[in-house]
Amino acid sequence: MVSNIKIIGIAGTNGSGKDAAGLTLADRHSYLFVSVTDLLRAELNRRGIPVERENLRALSAEWRREYGYAVLVDRAIEEFNNLKGQYVGVAIASLRNPAEADRIHELGGLVMWIDADPRTRYERIRVNAEARARAGEDSKTFEEFLAEEEAEMKPSGDGATLDMGSVKKKADLLLFNDQTDLNEFQSFITEQLFGVHQKDS
């Protein structure tokens, strides 16, 4: 049970349900949900650069080199602190560098890793791409999807690059999301994190 944890870092493979977990914490448990990927998307849009995974990776590495490896977590925490008293805690997705997991732990938080079958995750992304306004960003073949993920699981340069494999090793909680219904997934997250079983309404 993590009822006293104010900072929850969410990591995992693409399409595993990281944003859905963050939204569950926001909707059902009064956490502020911050997607650090959305922070990067906003900056790319501001610069007039296409929102593609390669550009997101490059920008995140640029920010880490300039502001410190945990910059994305720090910015999420800053947003939470600026809204002090409005939320019980903050849920931060998607951790992709081990320094981000370290920062969560330094602040007394918990890191969870979510995974699912690769084909299931790929289909989820395809189905949800337009609804999430990511049709261009997520228009990949299954082979390209797997290749991109493999590249993101290990560092491709210095310590500022993505290294999701090391984040997984630092996770406190490993979850496998084979849920097909959103309500079931929300109840699953609630039970895993808070030890509370909720019946779907």
Give me the pLDDT at residue 1, please.
47
Please say if the pLDDT value at position 199 is more than 70: no
Q: What is the largest CA-CA distance in the chain?
A: 48
Please say if the pLDDT value at position 200 is more than 90: no
The one-letter amino acid code at 139 reads: S
- Domain extent for 95: 7-187
Say how far apart CA 162 and CA 156 lie, in whole Å: 7
The mean pLDDT of 75-88, rounded to a whole number, is 95
Domain count, the chain: 1
Residue 25 lies in a domain: yes
Give me the pLDDT at residue 182, please.
85
Tokens of 200: 């779907």
Omega before 94 cis (within 30°)? yes
Residue 130 lies in a domain: yes
Percent residues over pLDDT 90 in the chain = 77
Say how far apart CA 75 and CA 88 lie, in whole Å: 18
Residue 55 lies in a domain: yes
User: How far is C-alpha 134 from the chain's CA centre?
Assistant: 16
Residue 49 lies in a domain: yes
Q: Is the pTM above the cut of 0.85?
A: yes
| Closest to 39 (Cα-Cα) out of 60, 18, 25 | 60
Tens of pLDDT, residues 93-137: 999 999 999 999 999 999 999 999 999 999 988 887 666 555 555
Tens of pLDDT, residues 140-168: 899 999 999 999 999 998 999 999 999 99
Residue 194 lies in a domain: no
The one-letter amino acid code at 158 reads: D
CATH number at residue 176: 3.40.50.300
Give me the pLDDT at residue 100, please.
98
Beta-carbon-side half-sphere exposure of residue 52 (alpha carbons within 13 Å): 11
Higher pLDDT, 64 or 138: 64
Please give the backbone phi and psi of residue 157, each rounded to the nearest 5 degrees, phi first.
Answer: -175, -125
Is residue 181 very low, low, confident or very high in pLDDT (cuts 50, 70, 90)? Answer: confident
Residue 175 lies in a domain: yes
The mean pLDDT of 52-61, rounded to a whole number, is 94
3-state class (DSSP) for residue 3: coil
Please state at what angle helix 98-106 crosses helix 71-82, rounded to 10 degrees: 40
Tens of pLDDT, residues 60-69: 999 999 999 9
Residue 197 lies in a domain: no
Say how far apart CA 113 and CA 162 lie, in whole Å: 15
Residue 103 lies in a domain: yes
